[in-house]
Structure 1
Amino acid sequence: MSGLISGLQDHLSELIRGQELPLPALDHSHIELILELLQQAYTGIKADYPTAVAGGDEKHLNSLMVDRLNHLVGDDPLASMVVRAVSRGTETKNYDASRFEMRPDIQISLTSRQHLFPLIVECKLIDLTKGKTVDLYCRDGLARFTTGDYAWTNREAMMLAYVRGGASTTSHLTPFLAAAMGLSPPEYAVVSLPQKCAVSLPDAARSDHGRYFTYVHGAQSGKLPGDIAVWHLWVN
């Protein structure tokens, strides 16, 4: 067992070589540009593939989104100054390498960072008629950021909801997180409730969450990562 643990620590050591964690926060203007790209990509695939958007599963939609996003970045000089490439299901590991073959839905490689530290976008369907609720959105999506499964090197992450029906961040996400915040201790480590951002977009909000795991390797060993800002884009 000790050999296995040592091997996992080797992987962490190599991953964070020369890095001070958590990495510096991204500029808010870059975050809003990426949110706008996500919205534009969804609007495009909705127009071109309405059947897929109306009835496809998350994997199908994510694949369409990744391909459309890469086309948008390639065609937009401003976007290409911020985004290097977009990928889907690239293998990663959690904060202590105890979970080793994890695959976030969408990873956005940025020109300002090494590609080893992408912006993570976790995607979920919101379809109340089929049991795809905000509870699942948080339990199987948002929680990955608070527990150190995803984006543990970063100060920010994104959640993308494919909404079928009339749900919104205001009507569903904010009340759910408000209830979670009232628990002791707060569920999902809610520090601040969703606040509207990217005013040009129909439904984008930011919430902040605590993270209570500690880094386990390198100069940051034993250090808390601090809060993470999560941007929520709900597209309908």
Structure 2
Amino acid sequence: MINAPAPAGRAVYEQLTAGVQLPLPPIPRFMLEVIAESILAAWLNIPQDQIGIADEAGLNAMMETQLNQLADQDEQFQMLVAAAVRGKETINFDGTWLEKRPDLSLILTNGVRARDFPLTIECKLIHKATKKGVSLYCNKGMKRFIDGDYGWARQESLMLAYVRDGSSIKTHLEPYLGRHFGKAHDIFCTTTLPVPTGSSAAQAISKHRRRFRYIDRAAQDDPGPIAIEHIWLDARGSN
């Protein structure tokens, strides 16, 4: 059963998207590469003795702090990102839900209504010993972009994995998506399995159809596919 937007949600959606062509124009690839490299740099600045013991919320909080320090100090990054915000509330694609909270949101410095439509980052801890694996990453993380809960106005998003058990994109994410790929009821709507990208072996991009349509919009405003940049970080730490 599909929930209908409440009057307040519909009003928020209409105000948010008034005069905005959806989806927003694609973010240039060089910008995404700078952002990805900055995330890797921010990760290196988190104390090693905390990386191996902090929970997901703690790691997200430290990532927010480090990314904001980069936004203050790194000339290239600050040209693209005004701020990183943890748990920034947002609505879903049609206003049905008013309190969606992606883990991290990057407020970009350019583009249409940048503060209203941040670049969304969803984060997941991967640790088999605590029953947190790639299934959780996909079903409770990545799928939120496909269903229009997060990042619905943009054509790109990011997923971060804090990996404590040696899992990798190649050995875990790619096979997991591959088992669904091409099937009539692929819940992840994958059109391109993860393709390595960037300077790190722990980076890849996958592409997915999206399972929603903008309300009260012309056919040309179909959301189209979303490109999801995956960055898997070694979170075993020094302990």
- Do Structure 1 and Structure 2 share a fold, with TM-score over 0.5? yes
**Quick one: which of 77, 80, 83 aligns to 2:78?**
80
**CA deviations over 1:18-45 (Å, ceiling 9, x no partner):** 1100000001111011111111111110
**Quick one: which of 101, 119, 123 aligns to 2:99?**
101
Map 1:84-233 → 2, pairs under 5 A: 84-113=82-111, 114-198=114-198, 200-217=199-216, 219-220=217-218, 223-233=221-231
Runs of 4+ in 1 over 6 A off after TM superposition: none
Matched-pair contact (CA < 8 Å) for 2:10–2:96: no
Distance in 2 (CA, whole Å) between partners of 1:102 and 1:221 is 26
Q: Which residue of 2 aligns with 1:38?
A: 39
SS class of match (1:144)? helix
**Quick one: which of 45, 65, 88 aligns to 2:63?**
65
Q: Which residue of 2 aligns with 1:25?
A: 26
Distance in 1 (CA, whole Å) between partners of 2:143 and 2:49 is 30
How many residue pairs match? The answer is 228
Distance in 2 (CA, whole Å) between partners of 1:221 and 1:58 is 39
Distance in 2 (CA, whole Å) between partners of 1:195 and 1:112 is 27
Q: Superposition RMSD on alpha carbons, in Å?
A: 1.5
Shift of 1:9: 1.4
Shift of 1:93: 0.6
Matched-pair contact (CA < 8 Å) for 1:215–1:222: no
Structure with more helix by fraction: 1
- Which amino acid in the other structure matches residue 206 of structure 2? S
Q: Which residue of 1 aligns with 2:237?
A: none
SS class of match (2:6)? helix
Matched-pair contact (CA < 8 Å) for 1:212–1:224: no
**CA deviations over 1:133-176 (Å, ceiling 9, x no partner):** 00000000000000000000000000000011211100100000
Shift of 1:222: 9.0
Matched-pair contact (CA < 8 Å) for 2:203–2:231: yes
Please, what TM-score do these two structures have when normalized by structure 2? Answer: 0.91
Q: Which residue of 1 aligns with 2:52?
A: 54
Please, what TM-score do these two structures have when normalized by structure 1? Answer: 0.93
Q: Cα–Cα, structure 1 residues 220 and 120, in superposed 2: closer, same or farther, change >3 Å?
A: farther
Matched-pair contact (CA < 8 Å) for 1:21–1:220: no
- Which amino acid in the other structure matches residue 211 of structure 2? Y
Sequence identity (%)? 37
Larger relative contact order, structure 1 or 2 (CA cutoff 8 Å, min sep 6): 2
SS class of match (1:202)? coil
